[in-house]
């Protein structure tokens, strides 16, 4: 089962109802994810951050946003496909995440990492606007996942994610 641990800003913005946080350790390949809301200019984004690998995904919020779980699974499977992860592993993750629980955030250290990723995202958005006159969230996410993370022993989130998935 997947827990999408949402910040108060996202819960309020999307008017989500939450369930109590489960103390049970995740029994999925990638574990749980934290989700935040950020705004850049007049564009609203959701930032997904994996608790285990600090791998991030960013999605423009389009209304109506009814099923956060389905949006998450769609983004994750597309990104994993782009990273050339084996289809059987992607399918296994999708199956493991078929049951989802929307909860409140639970980890201050993950929130600290999320704030760092969010700040970097906003800086890269500004850089994109200066050089390209538009924001390309997909390219920004690729850059963010290939910045060394202190909490991962200065390893890259993308490499750590692939390492975990290839070990299965």
pLDDT digits over 87-138, tens only? Answer: 999 999 999 999 999 999 988 999 999 999 999 999 999 988 877 778 888 8
Decide: helix, strand or coil at residue 27: coil
Give the whole-angstrom CA distance, residue 80 versus residue 98.
16
Distance CA(69)–CA(77), nearest Å, equals 12
Number of H helices, E strands in the chain: 6, 7
What are the structure tokens assigned to 109, written together?
A: 């250290």
User: Average pLDDT of 159-167?
Assistant: 94
Query: How many structural domains is the chain composed of?
Result: 1
Report if pTM > 0.85. yes
For residue 116, the tally of other CB atoms under 10 A from its CB is 17
Instruction: Specify the residue for token string 């996410």.
Output: 141
**Alpha-carbon distance 1 to 119, whole Å?**
30
CATH number at residue 95: 3.30.420
Label residue 148 by pLDDT band (50, 70, 90).
Answer: very high
For residues 165 and 148, give the distance between their C-alpha atoms in angstroms, rounded to a whole number. Answer: 19
Band (64; pLDDT cuts 50, 70, 90):
low
**The pLDDT of residue 25:** 75
Mean pLDDT confidence for 9-25 = 87
The one-character DSSP state at 86 is -
Cβ–Cβ < 8 Å for 135, 128: yes
Find, among 51, 48, 73, the residue nearest to 144 by Cα: 48
Mean pLDDT of 16-31: 86
Domain that holds residue 104: 2-166
Alpha-carbon distance 33 to 72, whole Å? Answer: 10
Cα 139 → chain centroid: 15
pLDDT given at position 106: 84
Residue 87 DSSP SS3: helix
């Amino acid at each position: 089962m997947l827990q999408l641990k949402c910040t108060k800003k996202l819960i309020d913005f999307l008017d989500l109802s939450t369930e109590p946080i489960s103390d049970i350790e995740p029994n999925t390949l990638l574990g749980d994810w934290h989700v935040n809301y950020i705004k850049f200019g007049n564009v609203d984004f959701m930032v997904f951050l994996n608790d285990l690998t600090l791998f991030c995904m960013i999605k423009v919020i389009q209304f109506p946003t009814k099923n956060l779980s389905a949006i998450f699974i769609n983004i994750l499977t597309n990104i994993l496909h782009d990273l050339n992860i084996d289809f059987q592993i992607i399918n296994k993750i999708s199956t493991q995440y078929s049951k989802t629980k929307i909860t409140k955030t639970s980890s201050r250290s993950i929130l600290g990492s999320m704030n760092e990723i969010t700040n970097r995202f906003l800086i890269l958005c500004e850089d994109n606007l200066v050089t390209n006159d538009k924001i390309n969230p997909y390219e920004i996410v690729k850059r963010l996942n290939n910045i060394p993370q202190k909490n991962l022993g200065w390893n890259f989130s993308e490499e750590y994610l692939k390492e975990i998935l290839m070990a299965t």
